[in-house]
Amino acid sequence: MGLLAPLFLLGLVGLAVPIIVHLTERQRRNVVDFPSLMFLRKIPFRSTQRRRIHHWALLSIRALALALLVAAFTRPFFANDEVAIGSTLGPREVVVVLDRSYSMGYGDRWERAKNQAREVFAGLDASDRASLVFMGRGAEALLRSTSDRDRLLTALDTASLSADGTLYGPALKLAQTILEESQFPNREAVIISDFQRNGWKGDEGVTFPPGTVVKSVLISDDATPNAAVASVAFRREFFSGQERMTATARVVRRQGEAPADRTIVLEVDGQEVQTKTVRLDPTGSATVTFEPFTLSELYTRGSIRLDPDALPQDDAFHFVLSPGRAMRILVLEGGSPRPDASLYMQRALEISEEASFQVDVRRSTSLSAADLEATDVVVLNDTRFPQGATEDRLRGFVEAGGGLLLVLGERSAWQTGLEELLPGRFGPARDHTRGAARLGYLDYTHPVFELFGGPRGGDFARARFFRSRDLELGPEGRVLARFDDGSVALAERRLGDGHVLVWTSTMDAFWNDLAVQPVFLPFIHQVMRHLGGYRERVPWFTTGQVLDLADPAGMLFVADRERELAPDVAQVALTPGGGSVALPATSGPRFLELEEPGFYEIRPPGTNPERTLAIAVNVDVTESELESMDPAELAAAVASREASGEIGAGGEMLTPEMQARNQERRQSLWRLLMVAALVLLLAETAISNWISRAATLRFKDGRSYVPSNT
Amino acid sequence: MAVRERSSIQGADTQFLDPAVLSRISGLDLLARTVVDGFLQGLHRSPHLGMSLDFAEHRAYMPGDDIRRIDWKLFGRTDRFYVKLFEAETSANFMVALDISRSMSFGTGAVTKLDYARYLAASLSYFSQKQRDRVGLATFDHEIVEYVPPSTRHLQLILHTLTRVEPGRPGTLRDPLMRLGDNLHHRGIILVLSDFYEEPEQVIDSVRHLRARGHDVIVFHLLDPAELKFPYESAASFRDMESDTMIPIVPDELADEYRTLIGQHTEDLARLFTGSRIDYTVLDTSKPLDYALFQYLSSREKMARVR
Max mean pLDDT among A200-209, A280-289, A580-589, B288-297 falls in A280-289
pLDDT in tens, A253-273: 887 778 888 899 999 998 999
Q: Is B236 on the interface with A (CB under 8 A)?
A: yes
Domain boundary among A586, A621, A656: A621
- Helices A109-122, A149-158: axis angle to 10 degrees equals 180
Q: Is B248 near chain A, with CB under 8 Å?
A: yes
Contact assignment for A697 to B231 by CB distance below 8 Å: yes
Cβ-based neighbour number of residue A694 at 10 Å:
10
What's the distance, CA B4 to chain centroid? 22
Task: Look at residue A48 in the predicted model and tell me its pLDDT.
Answer: 42
**Full 3-state SS string of A627-645:** CECCHHHHHHHHCCCCCCC
How many whole angstroms separate alpha carbon A377 and alpha carbon A402?
6
Tell me how crowded residue A619 is: count the other CB atoms within 10 A of its CB.
29
A236 occurs within a structural domain: no
Q: Count of domains in chain A?
A: 4
pLDDT recorded at residue B47: 32
C-alpha distances out from residue A153 to A125, A158, A184, Å:
14, 9, 22
Is residue A501 domain-shared with residue A643, that is, in the same domain? no
Q: Enumerate the residues of chain A whose CB falls inside 8 A of the CB of residue B255.
A: none
Among B302, B278, B272, B241, CA closest to B97:
B278
Closest chain B residue to A708 measured between Cα atoms? B108
- Contact between B75 and B108 under an 8 Å Cβ cutoff? The reply is no
Cβ of B234 and A701 within 8 Å?
A: no
Strand pairing partners for B144?
Answer: B140
B4 pLDDT above the threshold of 70 = no
pLDDT of residue A703 exceeding 70, the answer is no
- So what's the pLDDT on residue A666? 74
**A chain contacts of residue B262, beta-carbon cutoff 8 Å:** 39
Mean pLDDT rounded to a whole number for chain A: 83
- Residue-wise pLDDT tens digits, A486-496: 999 999 999 98
Phi, psi of A654 (to 5 degrees): -100, 140
Same domain as A675, residue A592? no
pLDDT (0 to 100) of residue A646: 53
Q: What is the pLDDT of residue A659?
A: 65
In terms of residues, how long is chain A? Answer: 710
Contact A656, A644 (CB under 8 A): yes
Determine the pLDDT at residue A490: 95
Contact between A33 and B229 using a beta-carbon 8 Å cutoff:
no
A525, containing H or E segment: helix A520-531
Q: Does B109 reach chain A within 8 Å, measured CB to CB?
A: yes
Kindly give the pairing relationship between strand A76-77 and strand A2-3.
antiparallel
Please answer yes or no on whether A37 and B195 come within 8 Å at the CB atom.
no
pLDDT band at residue B296, thresholds of 50, 70 and 90? confident
Q: CA of A53: which chain B residue's CA is closest?
A: B235
Q: Could you tell me the pLDDT band of residue A583, with boundaries at 50, 70 and 90?
A: confident
Query: Which DSSP symbol is given to A485?
Result: T
Residue A709 has pLDDT above 50, yes or no: no
Which pLDDT band, with edges at 50, 70 and 90, does B54 fall under? Answer: low
**Residue A620 scores a pLDDT above 60:** yes
Q: Kindly give, in sequence order, each residue whose CB lies less than 8 Å from that of residue A655, ignoring residues fewer than 6 positions away.
A: A644
Mean predicted confidence (pLDDT) in A30-50: 72
* Closest chain A CA to residue B196: A36
Helices and strands: H and E segment counts in chain B:
11, 10
Evaluate if residue A81 carries a pLDDT over 60.
no
Q: Dump pLDDT digits (tens) for B104-153.
A: 999 888 889 999 998 888 888 888 887 778 889 999 998 999 999 988 88
Higher model confidence: residue B158 or residue A1? Answer: B158
SS3 A499: strand
Q: Are residues A126 and A193 in the same domain?
A: yes
Estimate to the nearest angstrom the gap between the alpha carbon of A165 and the chain centroid: 5
Residues of A in contact with B286 (CB under 8 A): 699, 701, 703
CA A236 distance to own-chain centroid: 29
With CA atoms as reference, the chain B residue closest to A36 would be B240
Choose the final residue of a domain: A507, A531, A555: A531
Per DSSP, the three-state class of A477 is: coil
Give the best-scoring range by mean pLDDT among A46-55, A64-73, A515-524: A515-524
* Nearest chain A CA: its distance from B97 CA (Å): 19
Which chain A residues are within 8 Å of B233, Cβ to Cβ? Answer: 695, 697
Q: How far apart are CA B161 and CA B95, in angstroms?
A: 14
Q: Is the same domain home to A563 and A525?
A: no
**How does residue A91 score in pLDDT terms, banded at 50, 70 and 90?**
confident
Q: For residue A578, give its domain range.
A: 541-621
Q: Chain A interface, mutation test: which of B199, B238, B244, B257, most A Cβ atoms within 10 Å? A: B238
Domains observed in chain B = 2-46+91-306 (3.40.50.410), 51-86 (no CATH)
pLDDT, mean of residues B61-73: 84
Q: Do residue A380 and residue A518 come from a single domain?
A: yes
Residue A674 contacts residue A684 (beta carbons within 8 Å): no
Nearest CA in chain A to B234: A695
Selected residue with higher pLDDT from B253 and B39: B253
Domain containing residue A132: CATH number: 3.40.50.410
The reply to whether B286 touches chain A by the CB within 8 Å rule is yes
Instruction: Express as a percent the part of chain B with pLDDT over 90.
Output: 17
Give the one of B197, B232, B237 whose C-beta lies nearest to A28's C-beta.
Answer: B237
Q: Do B234 and A698 touch (CB under 8 A)?
A: no
- Whether B262 and chain A come into contact, CB under 8 Å, resolves to yes
B74-113 pLDDT, tens per residue?
A: 899 888 888 877 654 456 788 999 999 999 999 888 889 9
Length of chain B: 307
The beta strands (E) that lie in B100-143 are given as 134-140
State yes or no: pLDDT of A699 exceeds 50: no
Q: Is the model more confident about B46 or about A230?
A: A230
Burial of A156 (0-12, 13-18, 19+ CB in 10 A): buried
Count of pairs with CB atoms under 8 A, one residue in A, one in B: 105
Cβ <8 Å between A30 and B237: yes
pLDDT of residue A358: 86
The percentage of chain A sitting over the pLDDT mark of 70, rounded to a whole number, equals 87
- Summarize the confidence of residues B250-277 as an average pLDDT: 87
SS3 B200: helix
The residue ranking higher by pLDDT, A48 or B207, is B207
B225 touches chain A (CB under 8 A): yes
The Cα A641–Cα A637 span in angstroms is 9
**Closest chain A residue to the Cα of B287, Cα to Cα:** A701
Mutate one of B245, B250, B257, B285 to test the A interface: name it (highest A CB count within 10 A): B250
Contacts of A710 in chain B (CB under 8 A): 234, 236
Residue A342 scores a pLDDT above 60: yes
pLDDT of amino acid A183: 83
Q: Beta strand B246-249 with A213-218: parallel, antiparallel or unpaired?
A: unpaired
Split at pLDDT 50, 70, 90, the class of A604 is confident
Indicate whether A56 pLDDT > 70.
Answer: yes
Chain A hits for B232, Cβ within 8 Å:
32, 697, 707
Q: What is the DSSP letter of B306?
A: H
Res A282 pLDDT > 70: yes
Mean pLDDT, range A97-122, rounded to an integer: 91
More confident residue, A31 or A108: A108
pLDDT digits (tens, 9 = 90+) for A415-430: 888 888 999 999 999 8
Beta-carbon contacts of residue A76 (< 8 Å; ≥ 6 apart): A1, A2, A3, A4, A667, A669, A670, A673
Spatial distance between the Cα atoms of B214 and B191, rounded to a whole number of angstroms? 14
In a domain, A250, yes or no: no
Tell whether A286 is covered by a domain: no
- Residue-level pLDDT at A113: 93
* Residues of B with Cβ-Cβ distance to A31 under 8 angstroms: 236-239, 246
Residue A519 sits in the same domain as residue A602: no
Same domain, yes or no: A604 and A642:
no
CATH code, A558: 2.60.40
- Residues pairing with A77 in the sheet: A2
Whole-number pLDDT of residue A621:
85
Query: In this model, does residue A556 exceed pLDDT 80?
Result: no
d(CA A512, CA A138): 56
Q: Which of B101, B221, B222, B232 to mutate to test the interface with A (most CBs of A within 10 A)?
A: B232
What ranges make up the beta strands (E) of A281-326? Answer: 284-289, 293-294, 300-306, 316-321
Among A77, A529, A27, smallest CA distance to B250 is for A27
- Note whether B234 contacts A710, CB cutoff 8 Å: yes
Do A31 and A160 share a domain, yes or no? no
Q: Is residue A536 part of a domain?
A: no
Looking at per-residue pLDDT, the higher value among B307 and B252 belongs to B252
Q: pLDDT tens across A520-535, in order? A: 999 999 999 899 887 7
Task: Find the CB nearest A707 among B224, B229, B236.
Answer: B236
Closest residue in chain A to residue B261, using alpha carbons only: A39
Half-sphere exposure of B303 (CA within 13 A, CB side): 23
Asked whether the beta carbons of residue A31 and residue B262 sit closer than 8 angstroms, the reply is no
Q: What is the mean pLDDT of residues A110-130?
A: 90
Enter the DSSP assignment of A470.
Answer: E
For residue A701, pLDDT over 70 is answered with no
| pLDDT score of A134 more than 80 | yes
- pLDDT for residue B219 is more than 70: yes
Interface check B255 vs A, CB under 8 A? no
- The DSSP result for A435-466, as a single string, is S-B-EEEE-TTSHHHHTTSSTTS--GGG--B-
Residue A225, number of CB atoms within 10 A of its CB: 19
CA distance A265 to A302: 10
What confidence tier does B6 reach under pLDDT thresholds 50, 70, 90? very low
**SS3 per-residue string spanning A390-429:** HHHHHHHHHHCCCEEEEECCCCCCCCCCHHHCCCEEEEEE
Is residue A106 domain-resident? yes
Domain boundary among A531, A561, A581: A531
Is the domain of A638 the same as that of A682?
A: no
Alpha-carbon gap: A697 to the closest alpha carbon of chain B (Å): 6
Query: CB-based contacts of A422: which residues, under 8 Å, 6+ apart?
Result: A406, A474, A477, A493, A500, A502
Residues A641, A616, single domain; the answer is no
The predicted structure's pLDDT at residue A694: 66
- Interface predicted TM-score (ipTM): 0.76
Which residues of A are less than 8 Å from B114 in CB distance?
none
Contacting B with CB below 8 Å, chain A residues are 26-28, 30-43, 45-46, 49-50, 54, 695, 697-699, 701, 703, 705, 707, 709-710
CATH code at A524? Answer: 3.40.50.880
Residue A97 and residue A68 in one domain: no
Q: B19-33 pLDDT, tens per residue?
A: 666 666 666 666 776
Contact B258/A43, CB-based, under 8 Å? yes
Question: What is the model's pLDDT at position A443?
Answer: 92
Residue B247 has pLDDT above 60, yes or no: yes
Contact flag A30-B253 (C-beta cutoff 8 Å)? no
Q: Kindly give the pairing relationship between strand A316-321 and strand A300-306.
A: antiparallel
> pLDDT of B162-185, one tens digit each?
888 888 788 888 899 988 888 888
Q: What pLDDT does A637 receive?
A: 84
Query: Smallest CA–CA separation between A689 and chain B, in Å?
Result: 14
B232 contacts A32? CB cut-off 8 A: yes
Concatenated DSSP letters of A576-612: TTS-EEEE---SS--EEE--SSEEEEEE-TT---SS-
pLDDT above 50: residue A191: yes
Residue A467 domain-assigned (yes or no):
yes
Contacts of B7 (CB under 8 A, 6+ apart): none
Contact A36 B238 (CB under 8 A): no
Q: How confident is the model at residue A26 (pLDDT cuts 50, 70, 90)?
A: low
| pLDDT(A92) > 80 | yes
State mean pLDDT over A556-571: 70
Chain A positions touching B113 (Cβ under 8 A) are 35
Q: How much of chain A, in percent, has pLDDT values that exceed 90?
A: 28
Question: Parallel, antiparallel, or unpaired: how do β-strands B246-249 and B279-284 relate?
Answer: unpaired
pLDDT at A318: 94
A73, HSE (Cβ side, Cα atoms, 13 Å): 11
Buried b (16+ CB within 10 A) or exposed e, A390-406: bbebbbebbeeebbbbb
> In B, which residues are within 8 Å of A36 by CB distance?
103, 195, 197, 240-242
The distance of B248 to chain A (nearest Cα, Å) reads 6
Q: What is the mean pLDDT of residues A318-332?
A: 86
Q: Which of A203, A206, A135 is nearest to A171 (CA)?
A: A135
- Min Cα distance B120 → chain A (Å) is 20
Q: Which bin fits A382, alpha (ψ -120 to 50), beta or left (φ > 0)?
A: left
**Residue type at B298 in one-letter notation:** S
For residues A375 and A443, state if they share a domain. Answer: yes
A693 pLDDT above the threshold of 80: no
Decide: helix, strand or coil at residue A308. coil
B182 touches chain A (CB under 8 A): no
| Cα angle, residue A42 at apex, residues B100 and B228 outer, rounded to 5° | 50
Smallest Cβ distance to A36: which of B103, B250, B253?
B103
Rounded distance, CA A241 to CA A356, Å? 13
In this structure, is residue A292 part of a structural domain? no
At A557 the pLDDT is 66
